[in-house]
Structure 1
């Protein structure tokens, strides 16, 4: 199918780029090569939430610092009907999250951990009278994800209990017992026992409802139901524990929520989530969907007559399913939804339902960008909406007729924008001045046809003071995932321009397995997890060297993190073309990774069966088992920089240790960086600065 989008000329006219919205056009001042301080100290603008009347948008802004004690994050508010600057709403040490407006746009609730709070609680801010925010909850295990009822009188939110607890007094007693234990052992009978950088505990997620007033008593909706006694009951796992996405029905008498009932099967089957409803007054939840799909992102539209959602089919035996936009009639007349994007071979990233409109507006990834599109509520008349011609939308929300979100590109750090009929309009300027002082260019896009016949998209990033008459080393940087895509956006980890800064051209390739190119493309790595993608990266390098005369084909390096680290290890194991390799959180042995990671079923699907079967992928595509290539002179020759977070449970540190041991066994130059206080990502400022210094030093040692 053809992806609908505006022509570049039409977009340039519609968004008025002549007014120098983009930092790349601001050439009237002296500019400098990007520094780590430029990357780390850019203000981090959170997703804006517009008020129901469409007059205001509230969002968080983090002012980062290398010392976390000096960093602050607070809420800001911006009028949507005039050009007055955004103003700061809160002035607290902790951060605020999980924003939600009251239906009359007077109150704002959020979650924060303030002085005296042992756990994050719900606070309410009166935007009409001003003053300090009031704490609404004082629960032992805290509260999160508050949602106002349609009449504004009640709040629905998520909290936790310990097994067997029936009241807040019980929870308080259990918490005290946990704190006073004399032993430190953890015990598990469920899988997985850990997630990213956390060992999981025995807390159980629950939904609560309370009057939206200080001192009101919360009521647990789920603990007395049969549903929560099912061995597989639970919510989506996140950094803050399990979540139960919940939504009020239009009548205010019913709540909907998303939950799983097969979490006990995660070691041997794909997990899935279903839609449930239950009366606020209490009772047994009713399962509204009855399949093995996953549903999320619930919203009511069409004046409350339709329930919209995003869904993945969770096809057993497949490694990827596109995310589709669906709708149900409300109240439910059928458990079979209408698939609105059935003919669109892209995953819907986010969607909104502006008031008074008969269209649903959404975004999806394609070829390095994420832009806006829309269709009518019946799933017809698909068309492109006004979007900026570069970069990516990374949040989108509607309030009344207003649509706001965050747009960014690799040379335009995040800012709040208004979207809609009048085209994208920048509402904030937290980072524009600093960005304008940096010598950087927007990435250059190019495609080529791989040997397997697939069209492969790439972006090329050039260093500061770029001179096309010179020759530059090439650094092929590989994205993780593999269900991911290189996006034209500003990033902290593996920032394209900071990697290029010493004088490298950075190549970003969307190998098969990437998102943004359809379901088949993303599924193409099934049974071929490393070799096929790595071959396409090698071909992309060849194409870039052939296409661009300023690239020095004799000075090549490759690197990546997570799945990108897996592929970096494979390239070192199977190729001699690279003078240096950088591998962060990369696996070395598919079988070891299966047994020590926090997820295993998807690895079996991707490799064709369990590790004890006769599937050759487990052995033929494990980097460590290609060590014989060293003696043949066909691999394991490039010096490698290996790094890992000691708290990484997704790609545990044993992979890095095995990698480092193998390099010394083969007498290949190697350096190991271990970050004891980091997980799958390097998230602390000074650690990040050190990481970039080491990467630059490693590349300089072997490329210059």
Structure 2
């Protein structure tokens, strides 16, 4: 990597070189679950078009969800005055979008009298209560002002055969009154994470920016929307269509899939389309086998920028690269790939006005920092960034550049990045300053086959290098993910370490942040190779740190980390305890019952009926015979799962527990009936950490 990508200004280094000092006179204390759960949660700041203000959401967390609040706050970017609250409601707001003159703000909320989220407008300049603009039966989301400030573009849903509001309202009434509760499907997948899918379809609407205005469905009657594979991106709130106004305000540019009906047998592609504001059939702007997302027009209106993935056939992972289409675009013209020479995935990008550079972030070795490139895709630079942690959002308004920065010992705060990083808020500073914690320590080692592996260790409160500590190796999910130096709600590093453990965080083969080839190296080797990396990382940590007790080892993880936990429990007895949350037990069963399947076939080399050995040889359940040989399936294991998890369905946990009990292995199964892939409710989270700590204490 060029040295220019590794340099940081002295001012940037000073920002995050150490955790915040604790309050004078009060000794720091170990972190508690309350500290983790009750930290303020900040949404992405959205700067005004003139760069004078930024609006963002702040969640006041509570163990009882009925007591949790989420409101919008506004902060002046050019002065040191504190942020002020804009809204006062429990429901929360999303989809923030400034009017072109910076005087009004759109957002989506579900307030009194709303059955679904609706679009609201608040007058930032004049004050007053927010006005409801939409009253659609199926709600509205992702509002965007037109360039002239006269109209609003947004996404809403329709039912098959019901494209206007009256027909939708009538069909909604009929569905509510029907006697049966059956679900019927003719396309895969029927489920997503924790929801059974229905037949709602996303559409783009435009309406005048006034209460009571009638929305118009831009895709009604189009051949594109009638395709059996037409779809938007799947989110927790249903399908959505990412869309932006063209600079002249006469058309809409959007991203959609046309092969959703092939999801069980092919990768879903997302292409770029445009539709005239006056109506008519949408036209394709991209006609390739790639995918596109995160559309933004350059401030001068001469280019459409986005992120693209090559979707290379037969590969499990593609870098997200920054692409630029000349505008106005000739449909079908290939974009310029601006980050073709960068072997990293661009996470997010922004373009301040008045400049000629694109600012973006990407993952590398536990960090996510700021970089830039010019409009031609040349002169790649590292910009001033905090020396630790991760930038987790980035948006431009006027000449301003704002986002959220956090680290493992600095919970999220809003930052300005134009002119160097500057913290703008202090919602979590006081609470964080009272905690006895240290930043993660980074180290690398070389595997037996010559690969460089990055790791972090986290030490407990009151750490004494003269003592010996048990080691808890925690595996990240993904697998296309990376351990980041950030404040984490689930599997919080310092809360895991609190009883007196060293927590080891390893970026094994298949992790992101180390180049495309490193992430793709997981293909055809879904568990064995990464498991070997974990074992070698444990050995390296023991060699490097004399305070680690090499005889007291534990391992655990969630999602793909849970898969690895099950693999380690099946293939080695070196660990005294294992914790597995949402871990797969059988590759074949996981293929057939999860909400994604085709990618698993690509990863394993072919379908489950093709006779490929990986389906059996790297399924933890198929290692059960190792128990008789004195190797795997002997380590005490804590198995946890959310009953509403459709990504790694509960049958994996049930098979795991049945296997352990059949082999008389000390084991405990905990099922959360109201949780999905994660444990998101406060008291459930507190119980999870209590049980995890109890399990480790019992066997370590």
TM-score by structure 1 length?
Answer: 0.98
Please give the alpha-carbon distance, in whole angstroms, between the structure 2 residues aligned to 1:301 and 1:597: 39
Structure 1 position 330 matched with structure 2 position 327:
yes
- The corresponding residue for 2:483 is 486
Shift of 1:89: 0.4
SS where residue 371 of structure 1 aligns? strand
Match of 2:200 in 1: 203
Deviations 1:184-227 (A, max 9, x none): 01000011000000000111110000001111000000021000
Q: Which residues of 2 match residues 161-176 of structure 1 at below 5 A?
A: 161-176=158-173
Aligned-pair CA distance for 1:93: 2.1
Whole-angstrom CA distance in 1 between matches of 2:571 and 2:256: 44
- Does the residue aligned with 1:325 lie in a helix, a strand or coil? strand
Give the conservation status (yes or no) of the 8 Å contact 2:291–2:311: yes
Give yes or no for the alignment of 1:380 onto 2:401: no
When the two chains are superposed, the root-mean-square deviation of aligned CA atoms in Å is 1.2
Deviation of the 1:335 alpha carbon = 1.6
Aligned to 2:406: 408
2:580 is aligned with 1:589: no
Q: Which residue of 1 aligns with 2:390?
A: 392
**1:219 equivalent in alignment to 2:242:** no
Aligned with 1:627: secondary structure? helix
Is the contact made by 1:24 and 1:442 (CA closer than 8 Å) also made in structure 2?
no
C-alpha distance in structure 2 between counterparts of 1:613 and 1:185, whole Å: 34
**1:167 Cα deviation after fit:** 1.6
Match of 1:435 in 2: 432
1:24/1:441 contact within 8 Å kept: no
2:91 matched to which residue of 1? 94
CA distance in 2, matches of 1:245, 1:258: 6
Deviation sequence 1:420-473 (CA, Å, 0-9, x none): 22x100000000000000000000000000112110000000000000000000
The match for 2:617 among 620, 633, 658 is 620
- The normalised TM-score by structure 2 is 0.99
> Once the 2 structures are TM-superposed, how far is the Cα of residue 667 of structure 1 from its aligned partner?
0.4
Aligned twin of 1:468:
465
- Does 2:335 align with 1:308? no
CA contact (8 A) 1:5 1:384 kept: yes
Contact kept in structure 1, 2:470 and 2:502, CA below 8 Å: yes
Partner of 2:101: 104
Distance 1:489 1:27, change over 3 A: farther
The residue that corresponds to 2:27 in the other structure is 30
Q: CA deviation at 1:15?
A: 5.9
Q: What does residue 605 of structure 1 align with?
A: 602
**What CA deviation, in whole Å up to 9, does each residue of 1:69-98 have, x standing for no partner?**
111000000000100000000001210001
Give the match for residue 76 of structure 2. Answer: 79
1:393–1:408 contact (8 Å) kept in structure 2 = yes
- Is the Cα–Cα contact under 8 Å of residues 6 and 386 in structure 1 kept in the other structure? no
Aligned to 1:245: 242
Distance 1:378 1:340 in 2: 7
Q: Following TM superposition, where does structure 1 have runs of at least 4 consecutive aligned residues deviating by more than 6 angstroms? A: 25-28
What residue is the counterpart of 2:415 in the other structure? Answer: 417
| 8 Å CA contact retained: 1:530, 1:570 | yes
**Aligned equivalents of 1:377, 1:301: Cα separation in 2:** 9
- Whole-angstrom distance in 2 between the partners of 1:509 and 1:318: 24
CA distance in 1, matches of 2:548, 2:69: 42
C-alpha displacement at 1:28, in angstroms? 6.2
Deviation at 1:128, TM superposition (A): 1.1
1:13 Cα deviation after fit: 2.9
* Shift, 1:2, TM fit: 2.9
Q: Is the Cα contact below 8 Å between 2:22 and 2:435 reproduced in 1?
A: no
Contact persistence 1:107–1:125 (CA under 8 A) = yes
1:179 partner SS: helix
CA-to-partner distance for each residue in 1:233-269, whole Å, 9 max, x for gaps?
0000000100100000000001000000000111001
Q: 2:559 aligns with which of 538, 562, 565?
A: 562
Give the whole-Å Cα distance in 2 for the aligned partners of 1:94 and 1:673: 31
SS at match of 2:206: strand
Contact 1:15-1:424 at 8 Å conserved across structures: no
Q: Give SS of 1:440's match.
A: coil
Q: Secondary structure at the match of 1:192?
A: coil
2:531 equivalent in structure 1: 534
Alignment of 1:458 onto 2:455: yes
* Equivalent-residue separation in structure 2 for 1:28 and 1:449 (angstroms): 44
Q: Is the 8 A contact 2:18 2:439 kept in 1?
A: no
Q: CA 1:527 to 1:692, structure 2 compared with 1: closer, same or farther past 3 Å?
A: same
Deviations, residues 109-160 of structure 1 (Å, cap 9, x unaligned): 0000000100000000001110100000000000000000000100000000
Mapped contact 2:156–2:202 kept (Cα < 8 A): yes
Tell me how far 1:16 sits from its aligned partner: 4.6
Mapped partners of 2:651, 2:21: distance in 1: 43
Correspondent of 1:694 among 678, 691, 696: 691
1:670 and 2:670 aligned: no
Asked whether the 8 Å contact 2:361–2:370 carries over to 1, the reply is yes
- Whether the 8 Å contact between 1:93 and 1:114 is mirrored in structure 2 is no
Residue 17 of structure 1 deviates from its aligned partner by 3.5
Alignment check: 8 A CA contact 2:12 2:387 kept: no
* Secondary structure of residue in 2 paired with 1:521: helix
**Residues 150 and 252, structure 1, Cα contact 8 Å, conserved in 2:** yes
For residue 449 of structure 1, the aligned residue among 446, 449, 452 is 446
Q: Using the alignment, how far apart are the partners of 2:120 and 2:217 within structure 1?
A: 19
Distance in 2 of aligned mates of 1:152 and 1:242: 26
Are the aligned partners of 2:608 and 2:615 in contact in 1 as well (CA < 8 Å)? Answer: yes
Query: Are positions 1:630 and 2:623 aligned together?
Result: no
Is 1:462–1:505's contact at 8 Å kept on the other side of the alignment? yes
| Match of residue 315 from structure 2 | 318
The 8 Å contact of residues 52 and 78 in structure 2, kept in 1 or not, is answered as: yes
- How many angstroms apart in 2 are the aligned matches of 1:21 and 1:104? 41
- Name the residue aligned to 2:4: 4
For 1:99-248, what aligned pairs fall within 5 Å after superposition?
A: 99-248=96-245
